[in-house]
Amino acid sequence: MTAAAGFEAVIGLEVHVQLKTMTKLFCGCRNQYGAEPNEHICAVCTGQPGVLPVLNERALRLAIQAGVALECEIAPRTKFDRKNYFYPDLPKGYQISQFDRPINGPGGLSIEDDLGRPRRIGILRAHLEEDAGKTMHPEGQPYSLVDFNRAGIPLLEIVSEPELHSPAEAHRYLTALKRILRFARVSDCDMEQGSLRCDANISIRPVGSKELFTRTEIKNLNSFRNVERALHHEIERQIDIVSKGGAVVQETRKWFEAEERTDSMRSKEESHDYRYFPDPDLPEFVIDPELVAEIKADLPELPARRLERYARQLGLPAELAVLLSSEPELSDYFDQCVALDSTDSTDSPDSTEPAQIGNYIAGSLLQIAHQKETTVDQIGVPPAGLLGVLQRVHDGTLSHQAARKVLTALAATGHPLDRIVKDLGLAQISDREALLAIVDTVLSTSDQAVTEFREGKQAALNSLIGGVMKATKGKANPNLVRELLLERLNAPPGH
């Protein structure tokens, strides 16, 4: 759309990610979402006179861990700076952040462009800083309220290079970034809880030109859908202004979701407006190369590597491999099932194929998880439980349809598998002699279907199978039923 109008968009994203620590960045207050307002505050995070910040070592490690996962250069020495501005939920009147010596330097991640071609999007930096509090404006009231629970929570601000050229690319970048950070166990990246927030910088230029028009910023976009919609709107707005001979004003804008528009908040600040200077209360930090090497060695397997392993080593179909490597809880659960199956079947030829395990997870278990509004690992079906169900499918005790019912009951009750199968009456009849007697009875009362089958009408076989299934109330093993019917139907006369 932008190219057709003679312009292209240039987009850079600033993503603020709350790190998964127990306490805040510079004090011992709990890092907890959903607490009562101002429940987790102290003299340090509310900026009282005479207090001193102490860096959270866990936050430092997680910042390096994120940098390693994003292929960033890790700084050998880093420091903290004061970013000075006034806002009611910033109790000190400044934010402790990092300016000219961030902990993580250039890096990048891969996405597909709008034509499906691979592209690497550069990351300029990923630095540590403390979060601000939260200002609330009760509807219809002449006052505002401030909750400082969030003040001081450790943030990693990840700044991309201005290398995205469409809202769809921005969405794919955010999706890839969120996935990497979640698999790296750095953050839960829950946008509903505010642990991942995004600011977008947008400018346009004539197609083929290197010169950019004035950029604007959209603050605090709280969903990937809103990022995409806000970018669409802002690009169109800028093109409309420039096409009519106007000039885009450098400013910070706010997205109004209900009205699907942006509006001006304030003029856009530059770095000099914040009067950065080194924080005198915090020393320079030397990053030990051995610490970085240790973090690299302990880094969990990232989604791209898992996707490759699922496709190449385990032979999963592409769509299933992509799904199972999309969320860490899903991927971990699948890996636990495969590992347990491999261990349990060391001396047995009856191991379950990884693809069958994956299909049951992607089908039955994900459906249960969605109904319970939780993740697969939390629905009450442990890996051993799933493998137990699949083993009963493998040995003919359960049909696939019955297996799905058993899994649902297992998630609901937690009862032993054999009890569930018995209580629900779902066990298949796989006894050859018992089924053979029923097959003979059905054949003796189905002369027309038998004649049609012997005249070459294969559909008649399905009718006979249906007769046996009806006689057994659906409990017969359908594969064995087919085998016994063909055995009888193809036998020479008199046998």
117, 122, 128, 129: CA torsion to nearest 10? -90
Asked if residue 444 and residue 366 are part of one domain, the reply reads: no
Query: Encoding tokens for residue 444?
Result: 């003796």
Please check whether residue 495 lies inside any domain of the structure. no
Residue 397 in domain: yes
Q: Which residues pair with 375 in a beta bridge?
A: none
- The amino acid occupying position 173 is Y
pLDDT at 346: 46
* Structural domain includes residue 1: no
**Same domain as 441, residue 405:** no
Tell me the three-class secondary structure of the chain, residue by residue: CCCCCCEEEEEEEEEEEECCCCECCCCCCECCCCCCCCCCCCCCCCCCCCCCCCCCHHHHHHHHHHHHHCCCCECCEECCEEEECCCCCCCCCEEEECCCCCCECCEEEEEECCCCCEEEEEEEEEEEEECCCEEECCCCCCCCEEECCCCCCEEEEEEECCCECCHHHHHHHHHHHHHHHHHCCCCCCCHHHCCEEEEEEEEEEECCCCCCCCCEEEEEECCHHHHHHHHHHHHHHHHHHHHCCCCCCCEEEEEECCCCEEEEEEECCCHHHHCCEECCCCCCEECCHHHHHHHHHHCCCCHHHHHHHHHHCCCCCHHHHHHHCCCHHHHHHHHHHHHHHHHHCCCCCCCCCHHHHHHHHHHHHHHHHHHHCCCHHHCCCCHHHHHHHHHHHHCCCCCHHHHHHHHHHHHHHCCCHHHHHHHHCCCCECCHHHHHHHHHHHHHCCHHHHHHHHCCCCHHHHHHHHHHHHHCCCCECHHHHHHHHHHHHCCCCCC
pLDDT of residue 344: 67
Tally the domains of the chain. 3
Question: Within this chain, do residues 141 and 12 fall inside the same structural domain, yes or no?
Answer: yes
Those residues whose C-beta lies under 8 Å from the C-beta of residue 208, and which sit 6 or more positions away, are none
pLDDT tens across 35-55, in order?
999 999 999 999 999 999 999
pLDDT value at position 339? Answer: 94
Give the pLDDT confidence score for residue 220 in this predicted structure: 79
Give CA–CA dist 18/33, Å, rounded: 11
Same domain? 384 vs 472: no
260 and 355 housed in the same domain: no
Contact 424/417 with Cβ under 8 angstroms?
Answer: no
Q: Is residue 494 part of a domain?
A: no
pLDDT digits over 1-23, tens only? 444 468 999 999 999 999 999 99
The residues, ordered by sequence, that sit 6+ positions from 134 with a Cβ below 8 Å of its Cβ are 89, 146, 147, 149, 150
Q: Give yes or no: residues 208 and 348 share one domain.
A: no
**Token duo for residue 376:** 């697969």
- Tell whether 417 and 437 lie within a shared domain: no
Task: Tell me: do 308 and 241 sit in the same domain.
Answer: no
Q: Write out the residue range of the structural domain in which residue 338 sits.
A: 301-424
Q: Name the stretches of the chain with pLDDT < 70.
A: 1-5, 268-269, 344-351, 428-429, 431, 493-495
Q: Domain ends where: 424, 443, 469?
A: 424
* Residue 295 resides in a domain: no
* Residues 269 and 339 occupy one common structural domain: no
